[in-house]
Chains A and B, each alone.
Chain A
Amino acid sequence: DAGVIQSPRHEVTEMGQEVTLRCKPISGHDYLFWYRQTMMRGLELLIYFNNNVPIDDSGMPEDRFSAKMPNASFSTLKIQPSEPRDSAVYFCASSLNKRGLAGVLSTGELFFGEGSRLTVL
């Protein structure tokens, strides 16, 4: 597998413009996560999906941010309108959660994409 694929790798845009970041998770993984990384705030969880359904979007900063996962192989994170404070590296990650011997699901390794570096001028 090619791993988690994100696009674009770099995006420079002007304040007020719409930005769409894309992610293709590892095939067969049932969880997809969007994280944002900045020097000041580190790695912040924005939202995550299980089997294409959003589970927790409490990390989404405000209504300007939205995320979708229309199918198991594709997700988007959209910012509209963008602002300079949105400048960051946005990581998508996926995982496959495993059932142990006792039948209990446990958290699996997160596989991160290369990230999308967003600069809003």
Chain B
Amino acid sequence: GENVEQHPSTLSVQEGDSAVIKCTYSDSASNYFPWYKQELGKRPQLIIDIRSNVGEKKDQRIAVTLNKTAKHFSLHITETQPEDSAVYFCAASQRGRRALTFGSGTRLQVQP
């Protein structure tokens, strides 16, 4: 099955700095790569996703890049704010399979 590895496990940045979280996946048949944000004690919620026919996608301060050849994808958050502090999960879905395999999560702390 699919295996998703995520780094780093924790990330601390100053407000206004950029944050980058990286994930690799094992199954070349995977074609959908979402990112979820989970605030403390809350449910995971989708913040951005990318499909394998696209190399980059941007939504305001967040962007995701995908390198299919290397089987890795990254989340970029610019101009970080304290409310960006949360745990971020990457995930991958294999073609024909609707379930997501999640990475282990990155705890992002934005220092004011």
- Residue ranges of A at the interface with B (Cβ–Cβ < 8 Å): 31, 33, 42-43, 45, 48, 50, 55-56, 58, 91, 95, 97, 106-110, 112-115
Contact = CB atoms under 8 A, between A and B. Distances in A.
A50 B98 CA distance: 9
B61 interface: no
A106 B54 CA distance: 14
B99 A56 contact: yes
Given A42-B102, A42-B104, A109 B43 contact: no
Interface residues of B, number: 22
Contacts of B32: 106-107
Contacts of A45: 99-101
B103 A33 contact: no
9 contacts: A43-B89, A45-B99, A45-B100, A58-B1, A97-B98, A107-B32, A107-B98, A110-B36, A110-B100
B45 interface: yes
Nearest to A110: B100
A12 B103 CA distance: 28
Interface string B45-87: 1100101000000000000000000000000000000000000
A108 B97 CA distance: 11
Nearest to A46: B99
The 8 A-B pairs with the shortest beta carbon distances in the complex, nearest first, are: A112-B43, A43-B102, A107-B32, A107-B93, A42-B104, A109-B46, A48-B99, A45-B99
